[in-house]
Amino acid sequence: MEEEQKAILFKISSHFPSPQGVKISYGTAGFRADASILQSTVYRVGILSSLRSLKTQSVIGLMITASHNKVTDNGIKIADPSGEMLTQAWEPFADQLANASDPQLLLQLISEFVTKENIPLDGTWTGEILVGRDTRPSGASLLEAAEQGIGSVVGAVALDMGILTTPQLHWMVRARNKGMRATELDYFKQLSDSFRCLMDLIPNKHKLNETDDKLVVDGANGVGGEKLEILKKMLDSLAIEVRNSGKGEGVLNEGVGADYVQKEKVTQHGFGIEDVGIRCASLDGDGDRLVYFTVPSNSSGDIDLIDGDKILSLFALFIKEQLSILNKEVDKNATNNYEACLGVIQTAYANGASTDYLKQLGLEVVFTQTGVKYLHEKASQYDIGIYFEANGHGTILFSECFLSWLDARNNELSAISKGSEQQKAALRLLAVSNLINQAVGDALSGLLLVEAILKHMGWSVHRWSDLYQDLPSRQLKVKVVDRTAVVTTNAETVVLRPHGLQEAINAETAKYTRGRSFIRPSGTEDVIRVYAEASTQEAADNLANSVAELADQFLGYGSNK
């Protein structure tokens, strides 16, 4: 590494000392903590994103957000060239950078890594980093720290894309690296055009009643609500009312948002008895999670939740149907046949009833560790890979090979049987591939796809909700001394360490009909997460509490909530 580069890094790094006595850990999707201690971390991730851009000779993304966390938190995510999360191979380096105790150690780590990875720092290549942030008050100052980090690396430049949803930034990175236009307007145009295409292909133009045609969306008082207000102006065939849009007095993610709705299963702020029977949806703070719900007619305050598992099931059902139509009456002797491999990816948090339903459809279902990076990697191994977490984060991936074949097949069908059901199926699948955000889970694109499929099916939200009945479940958190003391295997469903804990969980679970429970260390908080499901809500609650107590006993002090 050149002496000039070392001098620049040493000088600027001295202005961003690491917080004393604090260890920052790279979680399932980047760094996240109280915003007051993140200046040095964000600065150093700015350096990392520059090195990543120079290494890959591609555009990289840097997003400042803490997603569904409280407003006083913030965090930072990196988007790799394809729009996916930062490659796991670089995560240890990210951890080392974030926790370097002084500028000298930081400089040593960077120098060794640059040499090891053969990263060009001689000005022969320009690194380009797209930077975005959500609506958190701390975002502006952290953005400046990120830009300082990017500017510390010779040949790297930051492009401030403004206030965005996390999925918008990931989409922009992917689009830029594919040689496409990548402004926010381009994003909105691609989504709205693809949605209109699907609407135009609805069979028999199913007509729903006025209640079923209305959609009310909780924007979590965040950036997603703001962007949906813009997007809905481009959609003349969808009646959307946005509440908790972030323009009022509400607080980001406080008593609102997809995480609150999915975890608590109660009516959030801004919704009540006047919404009984209406189709409702909820986004999270940075717009990458989506759940649906309805308000029942009783006054209990509970909601009927339609979570990521049912969104996945709806998508899988629709795509399976289109593939079946496309392959109907295929010439067995033709040389251009393509038997698409469709896979469904879930985590241990998926409700057992959803897994049973998907398998009954004849679909291949596989499990991974919790975290988008694991789901995305597995889904990319299929021609069409659908993944969703129960929390509402997920998307659909289409392989380039399949899309090339599909485009050619559509052209062929257009020439020999234009307007046929097979050609319409091909057009629908192509439209889905453009509507869904293939870089990362996206609440806005996912919402439009849900709405298009419901209208295609002629289904009300209640018909969708009745696909299967969820097993009652409960999630808890246990504060522990050291979350890393828990080591799991088998997609995080089995505890390897501490020894004896899994046997205790098994014994407790065996007491309940259809009981299932597991624990795992959080990727974003200093807690152990507990999940339990059983045949009744009381049983699920009791099982979760019992397993939480076991975790507390094996792992030291703790308090449940």
Range 368-390 burial, b when 16+ CB lie within 10 A, else e: bbbbbbbbbbbbbebbbbbbbbb
Residue 524's pLDDT is 66
pLDDT at 119: 94
What top-level class would CATH report for the domain 194-306? alpha beta
Nearest to 163 by CA among 240, 247, 47: 247
Supply the CATH classification number for the domain 3-163. 3.40.120.10
At 125 the pLDDT is 84
Looking at residue 209, its pLDDT comes to 53
Pick from 67-76, 208-217, 321-330: least confident: 208-217
Q: Is 126 annotated as a binding residue?
A: no
Check the annotation: does 529 bind a ligand.
yes
Annotated binding residue 288? yes
Evaluate the omega torsion of the peptide bond into residue 472 and state whether it is cis, within 30 degrees of 0.
no
- So what's the pLDDT on residue 270? 93
pLDDT tens-digit map of 374-398:
999 999 999 999 999 999 999 999 9
Q: According to the model, what pLDDT value does residue 37 have?
A: 96
Distance CA 438, CA 459 (A): 26
pLDDT band (50, 70, 90) for residue 332: low
Which residues are within 8 A (CB) of 143 and not within 5 positions of it... i.e. 6 or more apart?
A: 64, 131, 133, 160
Q: Is 521 annotated as a binding residue?
A: yes
- Provide mean pLDDT across the span 509-531: 91
Catalytic-labelled residue, pool 18, 67, 82, 473: 67
**pLDDT tens by residue, 279-319:** 999 999 999 999 999 999 886 778 999 999 999 999 999 99
Strands (E), 472-511: 473-479, 487-489, 494-497
473-555 falls under which CATH superfamily?
A: Alpha-D-phosphohexomutase, C-terminal domain (3.30.310.50)
Is residue 433 over pLDDT 80?
A: yes
Q: Helices 537-555 and 501-509 sit at what angle, rounded to 10 degrees? A: 160
- DSSP class of 207: -
Question: Can you give the residue ranges of every domain in the chain?
Answer: 3-163, 194-306, 309-465, 473-555
What are the tokens at 335? 């040389």
Task: Determine how β-strand 527-533 pairs with β-strand 516-521.
Answer: antiparallel
Cα separation, 545 vs 509, in Å, equals 11
Average pLDDT over the chain reads 93
Q: What is the DSSP letter of 229?
A: H
Contacts of residue 83, Cβ cutoff 8 Å, sequence gap at least 6: 61, 170, 171, 173, 174, 177, 438, 439, 440
Q: What is the pTM of this model?
A: 0.93
Report the largest interatomic distance among the alpha carbons of the chain, rounded to a whole angstrom: 71
Does 194-306 match 3-163 at the fold level? yes
Judged against a pLDDT cut of 70, whether residue 77 lies above it is answered with yes
C-alpha 225/C-alpha 165 separation (Å) is 10
Mean pLDDT of 498-508: 97
> Is 380 annotated as belonging to a binding site?
no
For residue 67, indicate whether it is catalytic: yes
> Quick one: pLDDT band at residue 561, thresholds 50, 70, 90?
very low
- Judged against a pLDDT cut of 70, whether residue 14 lies above it is answered with yes
What is the pLDDT confidence band of residue 560, given thresholds at 50, 70 and 90? Answer: very low
Looking at residue 472, the DSSP 8-state letter turns out to be P
pLDDT at residue 355 in the model: 96
